[in-house]
Structure 1
Amino acid sequence: MLSKRSLVGVRLNFHTLAVLFFFLIGTQVFAADPAVVESDEAIAAGKSVFNANCKTCHKLDQKMIGPALRGVTDRQSAEWAKSFIKNSSAVIASGDEYATALFAEFNNTVMPAHTFLSDDDLNNLLSYIEFGDKVDPAAAAATAAGGEGAVAAGGGIPTEYLTVIVVVLVIVLLLILIVLGLIISVLTKYINKQDLDADDKEFVSQKFELGKLLKSDGFVIIVTALVIALVAKTAIDGLYSVGVQQGYAPTQPIAYSHALHAGTLEIQCQYCHTGVEIGRSANIPSPNICMNCHTHVQNVQGKDGISPEIQKIYDAVDNNKPIEWVRVHNLPDLAYFNHSQHVKVGGIECQTCHGPIQEMEVVRQHSALTMGWCIDCHRNTEINSQGNEYYDKLVQLHSDSKDALKVKDIGGLECAKCHY
C-alpha cells in the first residue's frame, strides 16, 4: 500500500502535469485572436478592406508583389500581423527577425503604412485572409507554378493550357484530313474497279488541282469573310482603345522618383499633392514645396555640389518659372472626377487607382480609367459609413437590405454623377 506521503507526491505530480498540459494546450488555443472568425459578415467586410488597400500587391494564395497572405496568423500571431499591416517599417526597424527576412525576400519593397485602419477593420481583414475565397490547393499550386502572367486575361485559363489546346486541335484536324484522304483513296480505287460509264469514270478519276480550288467561289467567299472579320475586329479594338492610355509613362523634365520619395522615405502623397483631400484636383506640386526639403538636401548622388536634377528645381525658383511636368493621367473633359470625394469622404487609397505608386521610378498609368472600369468599381465598392454622419440617413434607408451599402446604391451609376 502507498503511504500518505507517496499519495501526496502522486497528487502533486498529477497537478503539475495537468497544469503543464493545459498551459501547452492553452497557448495553442488562445494564441489565435478570437476576433479573427469565420463568419460571413466579417469575411465580407474584410474583403472590402482587402480590395481597397491590399489587392494591388497581394493575393491570398499566390505570391505577387508581396507574399501570399493566407496563413499569416499561423506563421505569426494576429497581433503581430496587425502591427505589421499598420506600420511595417516600424516592425522591421525594431529588428524583428521574421519581418526583416520578409523585407529582404521581396527586394526591400516598402509596404505603405495603414495606420488609418481600425481594430475592427484589421480583424475583418484577417478573417477574410484566413477564411475568404478559398480555392482548391492543387489549382492554386498549378496557377502559381505558371507564373504571374500565366493566366489569360479573358477566361482565366493558364496560357500554357491554351497553347496545348490549340496544338491538340491542329493535330486533330490534320488527322481528320489524313483519314479523309485515305478514305477517298480507298473509295476511288474500289469504284474504279466497277463497271462505270465513261462520264462517271472520268468524274471519279479526276485529279485535284490547286488552281481550280483557289479560283472556286467557295474558297473566295471563305477568304473574303475571314479578311472582313479580321479588319472588323481590328477596327473595333482600335475604337475601344481610343483615349485609353494604360501603361503611359512619359519622360518628365526632372527625373523624380516616387519609389524614393513615397517608398523609401515614406513621404505621404498629400504632402506634395495638396489638393487631394480638399478639392477636385490633386494638384501638381510647385517648386516651393520641393524646396521645403531640397533647401537642405542638395545632393542625392554622394558627391560635392548640387545634383543636376535638384539644380533644375533651383533654376525654376530663381527664374520664377513653373516646372513643366507632363500629365500622366488624363480623363476626357466630359467626365467629372473629384479627388476629395473619393479620398477624404470615401477613404479610397491612392494605390486603388494609381497602382503601386510607391514602387515606380517613372510614373505610369496603372489602371485603364475607362467608364467601364469606374462603373465596375462603383458596383463592388462598399460604403465606409462608420463615424461619418453624412451616410447616417442612407444607412438607415438601406437597413432593410441584406446586402452591404455600396456606391451603386447611393447614385454611383447615375449618368449625371460623372457627366454633367
Structure 2
Amino acid sequence: MLSKRSLVGVQLNFRTLAVLFFLLIGTQVFAADPAVVESDEAIAAGKTVFNANCKTCHKLDQKAIGPALRGITDRQSIEWAKSFIKNSQAVIASGDDYANKLYAEYNNLMMPSHEFLSDADLDNLLSYIEYGDKVDPAAQAAAAGTEGAVSGGGGGIPTEYLTIIVVVLLIVLLLILIVLGLIISVLTKYIDKQDLPEDDKEFVSQKFNLGKVLKSDGFIIIVTALVVALVAKTAIDGLYNVGVQQGYAPTQPIAYSHALHAGTLEIECQYCHTGVEIGKSANIPSANICMNCHTHVQNVQGKEGISPEIQKIYDAVDNNKPIEWVRVHNLPDLAYFNHSQHVKVGGIECQTCHGPIEEMEVVYQHSSLTMGWCIDCHRQTEIAADGNEYYDKLVQLHSDSKDALKVKDIGGLECAKCHY
C-alpha cells in the first residue's frame, strides 16, 4: 500500500510531466514556421518577390486573373502553399482536391513553376501575402468600384455577387412565407376555440386555394420582378464581356509548339517576333525565319523523314505563299499599343501580358486585355529610372512623394496616351 505522502509525490510528478509535455507541444506549435512573421524586413523582401513573380495574375485581397492570396495559410498549410507556389502542376497532378478545384475555377489556367525560389524567398513571400499592404475595407471597395467602371470585361458588380444577392432574396422570401404560414396556423387554432359568429367561422375555416394564390396580383408582381432581374443580370454580364476573348485559342494552320521552341529549346521571343523591340507590332514570323532552323531540322522527336507540319513550311516557301496564321491577341482599333515602348523602354517581360507562353502547346489569350486591366497595370508598375537620364527630372519632381515613381505618375492614365 502506498502512503499518503507517496500518493502526493506521484501526483506532483504527474503534474510536472503534464506541464512539461504541454509546454513542449506548445513550443512545437509556435515554432512550426517562425519565418512567416509580421516583420517589416520580411514583408519588404516578400513584396519584391511578389512584384517580380506574382502581381501580374494575383492581388492580395481581391480576385484578378488568379484568386486573392491573403489568408492562404489559413485555408491550407504553409507547406502546401510553398509546394503549390514552387510547382502547382505537380500538386494538381497529385490529385489534391483543393488544387484541382482552383484549377477548374480559373478555366484551367496553369500557374508557372517557381522552382528557383528558395525557402527564404517563400517565407518572405508568405509574410507579405499575409501581413503586407493591408488596406481599409471602405477604401478598397471604392477602388474596386472605380476600376470596375472603366473595365471592359470583368468589371461592374461581379457575377457571383449578383447571384448571391438573388439567392439571398429568394431565401428571405421563403423564410417570410414559412413564418407567415406558422403565424396563420397558430392564429387559426386559437380562433377555432373562440365563440365566433357563423360568418366569421366560415371565413376562418376556408381552405387554402393554390390557384387563387398563383393568379393573385402580388404573386404575379413577385415572379415578374424576379424574371426581369435575371434577364437584366444576364444582359449586363453579356455587355461587360463584349469583345473580351480571354482564353481564346484558335487552331493554327501549323501545329507550332511554343512549349517546345520557347520552353525546351529556350529560343528567345525576339528571334521570331523581330519587331517587338523596334516597332509598334511584334510581327508574325515569316516562313523564311522558320527555315533558318528547319533547313537542317526536318523531323520532330527523332522521327525519320520530314514531318507533316514541317513540310507545310517547305510548301509555303516553295509556293511563295505566306502561312495564314490566325491572330490570337487583337486590340480594338481605337486603342494604341506600342510593343517597343513596353518591351524595350519599359523592360516588360512577354509573360506579363501573354502569360506562361513558354509552356503553351497551343497559344491562348492569357490576359483580358481590357481597359481596366491596362489601367491597373499602369497604376501598379514602377518605373525603372536608375541609370536612365530621361527620368532624372521626373524623379526629382516626384521626390516629395513616399510612393515609388509609377507609370501613372508620368501620364500613364491620360486618355490621349492610348486614344488619340
**Fold-level match, TM-score > 0.5?**
yes
**Pairwise CA distance, 1:180:** 4.5
Could you say which residue in structure 2 is the equivalent of 1:409? Answer: 409
**Pairwise CA distance, 1:112:** 9.3
Conserved 8 A contact 2:379-2:407: yes
**Paired letter, 2:350:** C
Q: Is 1:132 aligned to residue 128 of structure 2?
A: yes
Distance 1:254 1:306, change over 3 A: same
Could you say which residue in structure 1 is the equivalent of 2:214? Answer: 214
Structure 1, residues 330-389: CA drift from partner, whole Å, max 9, x if none?
100000001111111111111111111111111000111000111111111111112222
Could you say which residue in structure 1 is the equivalent of 2:201? Answer: 201
**Paired letter, 2:335:** A
Distance 1:192 1:106, change over 3 A: closer
Q: Is 1:49 aligned to residue 45 of structure 2?
A: no
Conserved 8 A contact 2:84-2:91: no
Percent same amino acid among aligned pairs? 75
Conserved 8 A contact 1:38-1:127: no
**Pairwise CA distance, 1:125:** 7.1
Q: Is 1:376 aligned to residue 372 of structure 2?
A: no
Higher mean C-alpha deviation, range 228-237 or range 363-372: 228-237
CA–CA distance in structure 1, aligned partners of residues 92 and 399 of structure 2: 43
Structure 1, residues 393-413: CA drift from partner, whole Å, max 9, x if none?
111110110011111111111
Could you say which residue in structure 1 is the equivalent of 2:275? Answer: 275
CA–CA distance in structure 2, aligned partners of residues 280 and 358 of structure 1: 22
Pairing 1:3-82 to 2, within 5 Å after superposition: 38=41, 42=45, 44-51=47-54, 68-69=81-82
Conserved 8 A contact 1:53-1:349: no
**CA RMSD, Structure 1 to Structure 2 (Å):** 4.0
Higher mean C-alpha deviation, range 400-409 or range 184-193: 184-193
Task: Give 3-state SS (helix, strand or coil) of 1:133's partner.
Answer: helix
**Paired letter, 1:49:** A
Conserved 8 A contact 1:276-1:343: yes
**Paired letter, 2:214:** L
**Paired letter, 2:330:** N
**Pairwise CA distance, 1:51:** 4.0
Conserved 8 A contact 2:246-2:365: yes
CA–CA distance in structure 2, aligned partners of residues 71 and 396 of structure 1: 42
Distance 1:388 1:127, change over 3 A: farther
Conserved 8 A contact 1:272-1:289: yes
Q: Is 1:225 aligned to residue 228 of structure 2?
A: no
**Paired letter, 1:243:** G
**Pairwise CA distance, 1:199:** 3.1
Conserved 8 A contact 1:112-1:266: no
**Paired letter, 1:335:** A
Structure 1, residues 24-71: CA drift from partner, whole Å, max 9, x if none?
xxxxxxxx9xxx9816665554543234679699979689xxx95599
**Pairwise CA distance, 1:227:** 1.2
CA–CA distance in structure 2, aligned partners of residues 307 and 281 of structure 1: 31
CA–CA distance in structure 2, aligned partners of residues 182 and 105 of structure 1: 51
**Paired letter, 1:417:** K
**Pairwise CA distance, 1:111:** 5.9
Could you say which residue in structure 1 is the equivalent of 2:354? Answer: 354
Higher mean C-alpha deviation, range 124-133 or range 313-322: 124-133
Higher mean C-alpha deviation, range 198-207 or range 245-254: 198-207
Could you say which residue in structure 1 is the equivalent of 2:326? Answer: 326
**Paired letter, 1:133:** I
Distance 1:288 1:113, change over 3 A: farther
CA–CA distance in structure 1, aligned partners of residues 318 and 285 of structure 2: 17
Could you say which residue in structure 2 is the equivalent of 1:242? Answer: 242
Distance 1:52 1:180, change over 3 A: closer
Distance 1:398 1:328, change over 3 A: same
**Pairwise CA distance, 1:255:** 0.2
Distance 1:204 1:280, change over 3 A: same
CA–CA distance in structure 2, aligned partners of residues 216 and 177 of structure 1: 15
CA–CA distance in structure 2, aligned partners of residues 378 and 204 of structure 1: 69
CA–CA distance in structure 1, aligned partners of residues 91 and 212 of structure 2: 65
Distance 1:102 1:177, change over 3 A: closer
TM-score w.r.t. length of structure 2: 0.66
CA–CA distance in structure 2, aligned partners of residues 258 and 127 of structure 1: 32
CA–CA distance in structure 2, aligned partners of residues 54 and 228 of structure 1: 35
Task: Give 3-state SS (helix, strand or coil) of 1:382's partner.
Answer: coil
CA–CA distance in structure 2, aligned partners of residues 292 and 52 of structure 1: 37
Conserved 8 A contact 1:45-1:125: no
Distance 1:201 1:104, change over 3 A: closer
Task: Give 3-state SS (helix, strand or coil) of 2:225's partner.
Answer: helix
Conserved 8 A contact 1:69-1:129: no
TM-score w.r.t. length of structure 1: 0.66
Conserved 8 A contact 2:382-2:406: yes
**Paired letter, 2:262:** A
**Pairwise CA distance, 1:200:** 2.2
Task: Give 3-state SS (helix, strand or coil) of 1:196's partner.
Answer: coil
Conserved 8 A contact 1:37-1:127: no
Conserved 8 A contact 1:379-1:407: yes
Task: Give 3-state SS (helix, strand or coil) of 1:227's partner.
Answer: helix
> Which ranges of structure 2 fall in alignment gaps of 5 or more residues?
1-34, 59-64, 94-110, 133-153
> Which ranges of structure 1 fall in alignment gaps of 5 or more residues?
1-31, 73-98, 115-121, 137-152
Distance 1:106 1:367, change over 3 A: same
Conserved 8 A contact 2:249-2:328: yes
CA–CA distance in structure 2, aligned partners of residues 102 and 228 of structure 1: 42
Conserved 8 A contact 2:287-2:313: yes
Conserved 8 A contact 2:253-2:323: yes
